Structure 1
Amino acid sequence: MSGILTPAEGSFWADEVLMTNNATIALLLGLSVVALLTRFLTMFMAPRLMSKIIHSEKVRSTAVKNSDKALGNAAAAGIALYLVKILISMMDDVDSGIMIPDFAVELIPNVLQFIFAVSIVLWAFRLVPLVQDVVELLDNDDELDGTEKTLISAVESMLRFAIAALGSVFVADALGFDLTSLIAGLGISGLALALAAKDTISNLFGATTVLLDRPFKIGDWVIVDSVEGEVAEISLRTTLIRTAADTIVTVPNANLVNTPVENFGKRRWRRWQTALHLDLNSDPAKVADFCAQVLESISESPVTVKTESSWCQVSTLTATSLDVSVNLYWDVAGGAPERKAKEELVLGIMQLAKDNGLSFFDPRMVQAS
C-alpha cells in the first residue's frame, strides 16, 4: 500500500495518465469499490433492521422498501466523500504520490456532497409515513379514529415542509452557494417574497387554525360554503373533501378561517321528526293506545337518547286526516345505522297500527269519493 501512496519515480504507479497517475487512479477505483460495497450492504441491512422496528405492514412497504436505495446512495456518497477528503489532504505531504487535478479537487467533493444531500432528503421524505406507525403503536384500540388520522395528516405535512426547507439549504450548500449571502438576499427581498406567497402563507395560517381549533377531523361529514362531503385529508395548504358523488374537492385552508363550517360529525345525537296521517274515522281510544305504544317502542330502542324529549302525540285534525306528530333522538355513529334505526321504527309503527286496527290516510280514497 505504501508503494501506491509514495510510488518510486519511474515505477508503474508513478506513470502519469490523464493529468493524474496510476496510483491515484487505483486509489479512486478502490474508493469506488468501497462506496459500492457500502451501498449494497446498507440496502441489504437497513430494510431488515427497520422491518423489525416498524409494525405497520403498509408503512413498512412504503417507508422501508422505497427508501433503501436512497439510504444506500447516501451511505455510499458519505463514505466516498470522507475518503476523497482524506486523499486530498494527503496531497499536501511532500512524499505523497497522489495526483488529483485542481478542477477535480473542487468538483469531486461537491458532486459527492450533492448526491449525499439529495439522497438524505429523499430518504427523509420516504420515512414520513413512519408517523402513522408511531401513532398506531401508541393507540390502545388498534383502530385509528378521525382525530388520530387528522394528527397523522398534519404531522406528515409539517415534516414534509421542514424536510423540503432544510433539504434546500443542504443542496444549496452542496452546490457551492454562499448561504450567508443567500440569507441576506432573502432578507432584502423578503417583502417581495411575502407578497408573492401571501396565499401560501394564508393557507398555512388556515391549517394552523384548523389544527388548533379542530372544527372537524378526517372522517367528519361537513358542509363548507357550497361543498358537502367527508373530510378525506388535511394538509398544510389544502383540505380535501370527498363528496357523495365520490369526487374530491380541494378547499384552500385560508377559506376555512372566514367560512362557516357545518360539521355533522360533531352531532351529539340525530333528531328525526315525522307526521303520521291516520284515517279520520279512527277510534280515539285506539289512537291513544297506538301513540302510547309507539312512544314505548321509541323509549325501548337501544339507540334512542333524550327519551324525556321524545313524543308521539296527536297534533292536529285536518279535513282529510288525523295527524300524529313523532319526535325522537338517536345516538348513532353514521348514516347507515341511522337508516337502519329508521327502518326498524317505521316497520314497527306500521305493525302497531295494524294491531290496533288503525289505517293511514289514503288520498286515493278521497279522489275516488
Structure 2
Amino acid sequence: MNITHFVIIPSITQRISTRFRLTLLISILALLPMASFAQEAEQDTVAAAPAWPEDSLGRRTPRGTVTGFFSAVADQDYTKAAFYLNLISPIDTIQDGAATAKALQRLLDQNSRFLPRSWISNEPDGRLDDDLPPNLERVGSATLDSLRIDLILEKTEGAEGGPIWLFSAETVRKIPVAAIGTEATVIEKTLPNFLEDNNLGGVPVGHWIGMLVIAIISYLAAWGLTAALAWLIHYIWRKTREEPTYGVIRAFSLPIRLYLTAVILVMLSQRFGISIVLRQRLSEFTIIVALVAVLLLLWRLVDAIANFSRRRLTHRNNMAGISIVLFLRRAAKVALLVIGTIAILDTLGFDVTTGLAALGIGGIALALGAQKTVENFVGSVTLITDQPVRVGDFCTVGNTSGTVEQIGMRSTRIRTSERTIVTIPNGDFSSQKIENFAFRDRFLFAPALRLRYDTSPEQIQAVLSALRQILASHDKVDKGSARVRLTEIGTDSLKVEIFTYILTSDFNEQLEIKESLLLRMMEAVNTQGKGFALPAQQLLVTENGNGKADHRKDVSDTSPEV
C-alpha cells in the first residue's frame, strides 16, 4: 500500500508538535510583563495590518483560493473558476480558462489526493515550513496515465497590490484539456443517468449515495481485517488466549477498525471517482474519525498500561504505587481530551490560537495558584520513587510516631499509638526527617547496671564474668559486638555498661529476648555481688549554736540503711 494513499495521515504528528511548540512559546511570552507584552502586541498588530483591499474572489490566502475554486465548480460556474487559475498566456480567452477549469475538475474527480481544507494555510504568505519556495504551496496531487501531477498554488501580485494565490502556471500547463473527460469514472459507469443529472449541493445525487455505500463497505472491510488479524494473533500467540492479554487485543480492535475504515474510505472514494467537491466537503469528517480512532487507541492504551501496573503493584502490596498510577491515568486522559478537542476544532477550521494562548496563560495561573497542590504532588512522587516509608511501616516523622496507613496523592495518613490518625501533607512529609523502624535488621541492647559501693573488686570481676557468659550463651545475641565493662565510679554507684545487638527484626521477639537477658543479669548481680545500688535519702540531724535542731536531707547516699 502506497503511503501517499493515506491522505488522512500526513503530518498529524508534525501538526501536534507544532501546536505543542506554539503553546510553549505562548506560555513563555505570558511570563513577560503584561503591559509591555500588550504594547508590543498592539504595535505588531498595527505593523502587520494589510495595506491592500480585500479580494472579491477571496484569493488572498491559499485556503481562500481552494475554497473559492471548489465553490465555483460546485455551482458549475467555470468562468468564475477560471479566475483561480494562472493561465499560461495572457492571450488565453475566458472560454479557454473555463475549459481548463472544467478539465481540472475532471482530473481531480478521476484520481487525485487533495489536502483537507483546514490543513491548507489561511495566511497571506502561505506555509513557510514545507520545503518549497515562499511563493509556492502544494495542496495535493493527481494521476493521469501513470503520470503524477503536483497541484501547486503560486503567489502573484494583484492589480491593487497584495498577494493573489492561483493554481500555478506549471500545474495548468500539465492539464491535458483535450484528453480529460473522454473516460468515465467507475461511479459514472455504475450510476443511472437520472442520478447523475440531478444535483444536491453541487454534487450529483448518485455520488452521495455512492459515498454512503463506500462508507459501509469500508467499515465491513475494516471489521473483517481486524477480526482476521485478531484471530491470527490468537492462533499464533497462545498467551493471548488468557486474560488479560486477550482483553487488551479486544480493546484495541475498535480504534484500529475505525482508523482502517477512514483509510479505506478515502482510498475507495478516490478510485471510484467520487466528485472532488463531495470528497473535499467530507474530508474534515474523515480526519475527525481518524483522530477519534487515534485518541481512542491512546485512551485504551493508557487503561491497559495502568491496569497492568496496578496488578503488579497489588501483587507487591504497594498501595502507594497504585495511587500514583491512578492519578497518572487520570492526568493522561485529561491531556488526551484537551489535545483531541484542540485537534478537532482545528480540523473544523476554528482558530485555536486564542484558545492555546488562554490555555498557556491559564496553566501558568493555575500552577501559581496551586503551588501547595503541586508541592504535595511532587512530594508524593518522591515518596513513591525513593520509598522512605511504605504502607504498614512504623516510623517517626517529625514529632509524630505511628504506622503508615495510606500514602495518597496529597497527604499521608499515620495511625499513632493512641489510635488516632495524623494526616501530613506530602510536601511537608518528604521534607522532614523520617525514621523508619521497619527496615531495622536488629535491635540494640545496651542496659547500664549500677552496683553498690560496697561490692568488692573480686565480686565485680565475678559479676562481669557472669554477664559475659550470659551474652555468649544466647543464640540471638551478636557475639561480635557484645561487650561488658565497668566504665564509671560514680558518686552514688559503680556503673557497668553492656553493649550488644539482638539478632531479630521482630519487635515482640526482641522484647522477649530482652526480658530473658535482664532477668538472668539481675540474678547474676544478686548472686555474684552485693546487688544493685538503690537511691536513698539520709536525714542528718545536727545542733546549731542556739541549741536547736537543724534538719538537712542528703540524697547522694545509696546505702540501704537510714
Q: TM-score, normalised by structure 1?
A: 0.59
2:436 corresponds to: 263
Is residue 206 from structure 1 mapped to residue 379 from structure 2 by the alignment?
yes
How far does residue 41 in structure 1 lie from its aligned partner after superposition? 5.7
* 8 Å CA contact 1:315, 1:325 repeated in 2: no
How far does residue 32 in structure 1 lie from its aligned partner after superposition? 4.2
* 8 Å CA contact 2:380, 2:426 repeated in 1: yes
Q: Structure 1 or 2: larger helix share?
A: 1
Secondary structure class of the residue paired with 1:333: coil
Is residue 295 from structure 1 mapped to residue 477 from structure 2 by the alignment?
no
Change (3 A) 1:27 1:268: closer
What is the letter of the counterpart of residue 296 of structure 1?
Q
The one of 333, 339, 357 aligned to 1:184: 357
Rg larger for: 2
Give a deviation string over 1:119-141, Cα, whole Å, max 9, x none. Answer: 42233233246569999xxxxxx
How far does residue 117 in structure 1 lie from its aligned partner after superposition? 1.5
What is the letter of the counterpart of residue 262 of structure 2?
V
* 8 Å CA contact 1:215, 1:263 repeated in 2: no
Q: For structure 1, which segment, 41-50 or 115-124, has the greater mean C-alpha deviation from structure 2 after superposition?
A: 41-50
1:172 corresponds to: 341
1:79 corresponds to: 257
What is the letter of the counterpart of residue 81 of structure 1?
Y
Is residue 31 from structure 1 mapped to residue 219 from structure 2 by the alignment?
yes
Which whole-Å CA distance do the structure 1 matches of 2:477 and 2:334 have between them? 50
The one of 284, 287, 295 aligned to 1:117: 295
Change (3 A) 1:174 1:81: farther
2:402 corresponds to: 229
Which whole-Å CA distance do the structure 2 matches of 1:48 and 1:240 have between them? 49
- What is the total number of aligned residue pairs between the two structures? 334
Which whole-Å CA distance do the structure 1 matches of 2:251 and 2:512 have between them? 56
* 8 Å CA contact 1:153, 1:234 repeated in 2: no
The alignment's C-alpha RMSD in Å is: 5.9
1:1-369 mapped onto 2 (5 Å cutoff):
8-10=190-192, 20-21=208-209, 24-25=212-213, 27-28=215-216, 31-32=219-220, 34-35=222-223, 38=226, 42=230, 45=233, 49=237, 51=239, 65=244, 68-69=246-247, 71-88=249-266, 90-91=268-269, 95-96=273-274, 106-107=284-285, 109-111=287-289, 113-114=291-292, 116-128=294-306, 156=325, 160=329, 163-164=332-333, 166-173=335-342, 175-176=344-345, 181-207=354-380, 210=383, 214=386, 216-218=388-390, 220-225=393-398, 227-231=400-404, 237-239=410-412, 241=414, 251-265=424-438, 270-274=443-447, 289-299=462-472, 301-304=475-478, 307=481, 310=484, 327-346=499-518, 348-349=520-521
What is the letter of the counterpart of residue 198 of structure 1?
Q
Which whole-Å CA distance do the structure 1 matches of 2:488 and 2:452 have between them? 12
What is the letter of the counterpart of residue 345 of structure 1?
L
Q: TM-score, normalised by structure 2?
A: 0.43
* 8 Å CA contact 1:91, 1:99 repeated in 2: no
How far does residue 261 in structure 1 lie from its aligned partner after superposition? 2.7
Give a deviation string over 1:76-134, Cα, whole Å, max 9, x none. Answer: 22232233243145445673499989987645653563354234223323324656999
Change (3 A) 1:116 1:84: same
Q: For structure 1, which segment, 17-26 or 113-122, has the greater mean C-alpha deviation from structure 2 after superposition?
A: 17-26
Change (3 A) 1:68 1:242: farther
Give a deviation string over 1:180-213, Cα, whole Å, max 9, x none. Answer: 554322233343212232122212443465578x
Q: Which runs of 5+ in 2 are unaligned?
A: 1-184, 197-203, 534-562
Which whole-Å CA distance do the structure 2 matches of 1:227 and 1:48 have between them? 57
* 8 Å CA contact 2:269, 2:279 repeated in 1: no
Secondary structure class of the residue paired with 1:176: helix
* 8 Å CA contact 2:484, 2:497 repeated in 1: no
What is the letter of the counterpart of residue 31 of structure 1?
Y
Give a deviation string over 1:147-190, Cα, whole Å, max 9, x none. Answer: xx699679857964774465345433564357655432223334
Q: Which runs of 5+ in 1 are unaligned?
A: 53-60, 136-142, 362-369
How far does residue 299 in structure 1 lie from its aligned partner after superposition? 4.5
Which whole-Å CA distance do the structure 2 matches of 1:174 and 1:23 have between them? 25
Change (3 A) 1:164 1:26: closer
What is the letter of the counterpart of residue 333 of structure 1?
S
Secondary structure class of the residue paired with 2:345: coil
* 8 Å CA contact 1:290, 1:353 repeated in 2: yes
2:543 corresponds to: none
* 8 Å CA contact 2:405, 2:414 repeated in 1: yes
What is the letter of the counterpart of residue 517 of structure 2?
L
* 8 Å CA contact 2:441, 2:505 repeated in 1: no
* 8 Å CA contact 2:443, 2:505 repeated in 1: no
* 8 Å CA contact 1:224, 1:260 repeated in 2: yes
Which whole-Å CA distance do the structure 1 matches of 2:228 and 2:421 have between them? 42
How far does residue 316 in structure 1 lie from its aligned partner after superposition? 8.3
Q: For structure 1, which segment, 274-283 or 101-110, has the greater mean C-alpha deviation from structure 2 after superposition?
A: 274-283
